Chains A and B, each alone.
Chain A
Amino acid sequence: MSIEVRGVEKEFGGFRALDGVSLNIREGELVALLGPSGSGKTTLLRVIAGLEYATGGSVLFDGEDAGARHVRERRVGFVFQHYALFKHMTVFNNVAFGLRVKARATRPSPEEITSKVNALLNLVQVEQFGSRYPSQLSGGQRQRVALARALAIEPRVLLLDEPFGALDAKVRKELRRWLRGLHDRMGLTSVFVTHDQEEAMELSDRVAVMNRGRIEQVGSPTEVYDSPATPFVYEFLGNANRLPCRIEHGSARLGETVFTDATGLADGDGVAFVRPHDIEVTSDRLALSIPATVKQVLISGAVAKLELTMDPAPGMIEVELPRGAHWGAPFLAGQKVHWRARTARVFPASAGASPVAAPEVKAAG
């Protein structure tokens, strides 16, 4: 089923959690809502589920206004961040709940419920834990049970709020792949919320990057990573050096040096973004290169990280070189070098509103 979000707004006591959000999700797609905390991503998910009422705009399921239906009848599968499993019920009864609360006329027979629940427990690979209580399960198992419970009502869409947020790193990776596989088999339209860009990139068909109640960019993971539409997206997805520069006659200058193209932008102050691995460093001067001094060299696994300070302009630049490339003639701290950007993106300074800095983003980045 397709989902269409049309100009949805949500206010909490004067605070605009969602500021006119529109998003189309195609049938069978797996979409990530990615953003820092407070960006409105969970609110958007809850509005789609019908758990929050939008102050404005509408949500359409297959072209039909979902607001006309009560949450009970929306047939939305929702996996809560902390799972919200019924603590006093066994795993089996948790999964069976949605079937048992159906009106008598539509309720499956006890035998059907048993076989259906068992099938779901099999699907999520917790078949041996049917008689356990949620408190007796590990985080990853609870997550799977929550998913099975949501799937039991044969939902038309599956919504997941930070599905891996409460899990440790190893389980998280494992479960991520498993969920992607499950989605590919079932083809259920799914939306999940995350603040972890790696998770969004790896798992989703498309990513909607959110900031301050708005969607900044929607696109495939490669699209948003390779051509970020806004400075926020640039900085939020992966590391980027942020360099204040001057735009003159369609090119960007750092100090006196023209260092990259800025075609189509009006003259004035600009901000250039360069990813650390898109930088070349040489000991000789090249075309478009800028002189700098190596401040520090850190070897981290397969990459060598260089910190350069630029001689004329203030500021520091982070560079990542493949370790192999660095090996032959290693750079040393204090060495005079030249660097240039293989690719860079320049925005006018007015668009360069810094993204909301959220602590979790730093941890994830």
Chain B
Amino acid sequence: MGQATPRLLRPPPPTTEPFAVKWALIGTAVLFMLLFLVMPLAAVLSEAFSRGIGTYWAAITDPYTLKSVRLTLLVAAISVPLNVAFGMTAAWAIAKFEFVGKSVLITLIDLPFSVSPVIAGLIYVLMFGAQGWIGPWLIDHDIRIVFAVPGLIVATTFVTFPFVAREMIPLMQDQGTDEEEAAILLGASGWQTFWRVTLPNAKWALLYGVLLCNARAMGEFGAVAVVSGHVRGVTTTMPLQIEMLYNEYKFAASFAVASLLALLAVVTLVVKATLEWRFGEELAAVHRAPGGKV
């Protein structure tokens, strides 16, 4: 007491680890991330270009690959808007009203996240397949769902079901109903209130949800694998095309297609990080505990 401690011997601040421990922890964490997360990404690029740029270009301009790209875009272009429509209506009902059974409904919306993708595909085969519940009726009317494009769309819709809703619901709940009540008192109709007040307040959350929903829709593999039937050029989305090429030992081509989806993933992450950084206050995900059961 009383005597000043020499500078070099001053103990570390009470709420941090010693210097060496701190850097050992950082080093371990970063090393793990590099080994487990970054290396696979690097491997995709390395393998994709292993036979040179010419092979790469040939692989991604292959007609079947282009067809798979088109199909992937089509599937996403239908299932994402469907889930947006659902997300917005569900969020309005849940966030702006008090009713019995609300928490049950919220749990049910999250349900698809805890269902294995394979099971997601299976339930539609059981429903629409030749041996399924309404399979015979569909065959009689010459409607194909399973092993055809509609099957890919419903399966993708299932696995991406919660994304938009679970982003919008907590945000709109946080925002309360004051602004909507103010709008109604000022004479606005329900539509005007939604479009001019509610949606502008939730637009970044909506975009965030759409971003994740789209990434999953384009990258979904397990569920579409089950309902696809693997008809080359007809029911093969990009992830299925990757699988087929890989199983045919066309590794460079397979990784070339994979590199496109990897690029999508990286772009998604960058946009996501940007949204979180710029509009963190207006995103539910940033405030919510579990970062999403994607």
Among A50, A82, A88, A149, which residue has its beta carbon within 8 angstroms of that of B186?
A149
Q: A152-B186, A153-B187 are in contact. Are A101 and B179 (CB under 8 A)?
A: no
Residues of A within 8 A of B201 (CB): 86-88
Tell yes or no: A347 within 8 A of B by CB.
no
Bitwise, A176-205 to B at CB < 8 A (1) or not (0) is 000000000000000000000000000000
Residues of B within 8 A of A333 (CB): none
Q: Which of B180-212 contact A (CB under 8 A)?
A: 181-189, 192, 196-197, 200-201
Q: Is the beta-carbon distance between A101 and B185 smaller than 8 angstroms?
A: no
Residues of A within 8 A of B185 (CB): 49-51, 71-72, 74, 76-78, 150
Residues of B within 8 A of A98 (CB): 186-188
Q: Is the beta-carbon distance between A84 and B188 smaller than 8 angstroms?
A: no
Q: Is the beta-carbon distance between B197 and A86 smaller than 8 angstroms?
A: yes
Residues of B within 8 A of A88 (CB): 200-201
Q: A97-B196, A101-B192 are in contact. Are A84 and B178 (CB under 8 A)?
A: yes
Q: Count the A residues whose beta carbon is within 8 Å of the partner chain — how many?
A: 26
What's the nearest-Cβ distance from chain A to residue B183, in Å? Answer: 7
CA distance A89 to B186 in the complex (A): 15
What's the nearest-Cβ distance from chain B to residue A99, in Å? Answer: 9
Tell yes or no: A342 within 8 A of B by CB.
no
Q: Which of A85-113 contact B (CB under 8 A)?
A: 85-89, 97-98, 101-102
CA distance A149 to B186 in the complex (A): 8
Tell yes or no: A331 within 8 A of B by CB.
no
CA distance A88 to B205 in the complex (A): 14
What's the nearest-Cβ distance from chain A to residue B98, in Å? Answer: 10
CA distance A223 to B64 in the complex (A): 89
Residues of A within 8 A of B184 (CB): 71-72
Which residue of chain B lies nearest to A97 when distances are taken between CB atoms in the complex? B186
Residues of B within 8 A of A150 (CB): 185-186
What's the nearest-Cβ distance from chain B to residue A70, in Å? Answer: 9
Among A71, A80, A149, A152, which residue has its beta carbon within 8 angstroms of that of B178?
A80
Residues of B within 8 A of A87 (CB): 179, 201
Which residue of chain B lies nearest to A152 when distances are taken between CB atoms in the complex? B186
Bitwise, A47-85 to B at CB < 8 A (1) or not (0) is 001110000000000000000000111101110101011
Residues of A within 8 A of B187 (CB): 72-73, 98, 101-102, 153
Among A49, A74, A101, which residue has its beta carbon within 8 angstroms of that of B183?
A101
CA distance A101 to B189 in the complex (A): 8
Residues of B within 8 A of A50 (CB): 185
Residues of A within 8 A of B183 (CB): 86, 97, 101
Q: Is the beta-carbon distance between A72 and B182 smaller than 8 angstroms?
A: no
Residues of B within 8 A of A49 (CB): 185
Q: Is the beta-carbon distance between A78 and B182 smaller than 8 angstroms?
A: yes
Q: Is the beta-carbon distance between B186 and A80 smaller than 8 angstroms?
A: no
Q: Which of B138-196 contact A (CB under 8 A)?
A: 178-179, 181-189, 192, 196
Bitwise, A143-154 to B at CB < 8 A (1) or not (0) is 000000110110
CA distance A97 to B201 in the complex (A): 15
What's the nearest-Cβ distance from chain A to residue B218, in Å? Answer: 30
Q: Is the beta-carbon distance between A86 and B188 smaller than 8 angstroms?
A: no
What's the nearest-Cβ distance from chain A to residue B47, in Å? Answer: 46
Residues of A within 8 A of B189 (CB): 72, 101
Q: Is the beta-carbon distance between A153 and B179 smaller than 8 angstroms?
A: no
Q: A88-B201, A101-B196 are in contact. Are A82 and B188 (CB under 8 A)?
A: no
CA distance A149 to B182 in the complex (A): 9
What's the nearest-Cβ distance from chain A to residue B67, in Å? Answer: 42
Which residue of chain A lies nearest to B192 when distances are taken between CB atoms in the complex? A101
Q: A86-B197, A88-B201 are in contact. Are A51 and B186 (CB under 8 A)?
A: no
What's the nearest-Cβ distance from chain A to residue B272, in Å? Answer: 22
Which residue of chain B lies nearest to A159 when distances are taken between CB atoms in the complex? B185
CA distance A82 to B178 in the complex (A): 9
CA distance A100 to B105 in the complex (A): 36
CA distance A147 to B196 in the complex (A): 20
CA distance A78 to B183 in the complex (A): 10
What's the nearest-Cβ distance from chain B to residue A175, in Å? Answer: 20
Residues of A within 8 A of B179 (CB): 84-87
Q: A97-B196, A101-B196 are in contact. Are A84 and B181 (CB under 8 A)?
A: yes
Residues of A within 8 A of B196 (CB): 86, 97, 101
CA distance A49 to B179 in the complex (A): 15
Chain B CB within 10 A, most for which of A73, A97, A101: A101
Residues of B within 8 A of A97 (CB): 183, 186, 188, 196
Q: Is the beta-carbon distance between B182 and A80 smaller than 8 angstroms?
A: yes
Q: Is the beta-carbon distance between A101 and B182 smaller than 8 angstroms?
A: no
What's the nearest-Cβ distance from chain A to residue B258, in Å? Answer: 40
Residues of B within 8 A of A149 (CB): 182, 186
What's the nearest-Cβ distance from chain B to residue A135, in Å? Answer: 10
Bitwise, A289-316 to B at CB < 8 A (1) or not (0) is 0000000000000000000000000000
Q: Is the beta-carbon distance between B200 and A51 smaller than 8 angstroms?
A: no
CA distance A86 to B182 in the complex (A): 9
Q: Is the beta-carbon distance between B181 and A101 smaller than 8 angstroms?
A: no
Cβ contacts A to B, 12 pairs, < 8 Å: A51-B181, A71-B185, A72-B188, A72-B189, A80-B182, A85-B179, A86-B197, A86-B200, A98-B186, A101-B183, A149-B186, A152-B186
The 9 lowest CB-CB distance pairs between A and B, nearest first, are: A98-B186, A84-B178, A101-B188, A88-B200, A84-B182, A101-B192, A84-B179, A78-B185, A72-B187
